[in-house]
Amino acid sequence: MVTRAQAVSRVVNEIRGLQKDEAPNRRTILQMLEDKTTFLLSQKVGDRSLYRESEIITHLKCFELEKDDLIKCEVVELRRCNTLMKSKYKLPDLISSRYGEAILNVTAIDGTKMFQQITAHEYATLKNRKYANIKRLLYLIHQGYLYIPDYEIQAVNLDILTLRVEEIVNISGCSKEDCCKSYWDYPLINSDKLAEAVIKEVIQEFIGTFKSIPIDENPNKDSNIKSSTIQ
């Protein structure tokens, strides 16, 4: 996999070969790479082609939940639950599309139960039905937290789409990731094909920018002087 450090280094090396007076900021380049990756992934979620590239899906295992106070619950519609479970931690920032946040599956750890996503409004509508007896296993997301109404469960597994894979080590109850691993040593995205496409796009964007800047005939590392010549 192409790590964040490797992706940024490739862009920096290409740019320095084109523009010797400019040394791009690594964090700025990483942000550009991640923005383009997010855009491409959002497209894949939107056109439903995501499942053809399963390697880009992050598996969050043993995501722990605990009972939430029904009276103090921030989601008003959930205060009518029989019981309510809330995740101990926030989910990493998820890729979003017109279909919502990219959560592909929520299942019990043993895989025997699958939960269906619902909105707070939809849940309230179900509860308002006369003689309502909600037997489906449901979940919803509110401000980054996972909620499971009317069913007690201590942990679930999730398949999600996120660029913040480094956060999994802190929120998974059974993660085997190295907690001392550097932020820069995590992959840009778990797909070499997608990473290559993103890197090339960012390089092309810098090339287009540099073509619009006057050439410095006397490179002197001073970005404020572009067009002067030695007389």
Tokens for 1?
């996999």
Mean pLDDT of the chain: 84
Burial tier of 143 (Cβ tally within 10 Å: 0-12, 13-18, 19+):
exposed
Query: Quick one: which of 166, 182, 208, 225 has its CA closest to 32?
Result: 208
Outline where 91-131 has alpha helix (H).
Answer: 120-128
Average pLDDT over residues 30-57: 83
Whether pLDDT at 97 is above 90: no
d(CA 177, CA 187): 13
Tokens for 138?
């449901």
The residue ranking higher by pLDDT, 25 or 90, is 90
Looking at residue 195, its amino acid is: A
Tokens for 155?
């942990």
Cα atoms in the Cβ-side hemisphere of radius 13 Å centred on 205 = 14
pLDDT tens for each residue of 165-206: 999 989 998 876 666 789 999 999 988 999 999 999 999 988
* 121 CB neighbour count, 10 Å cutoff: 10
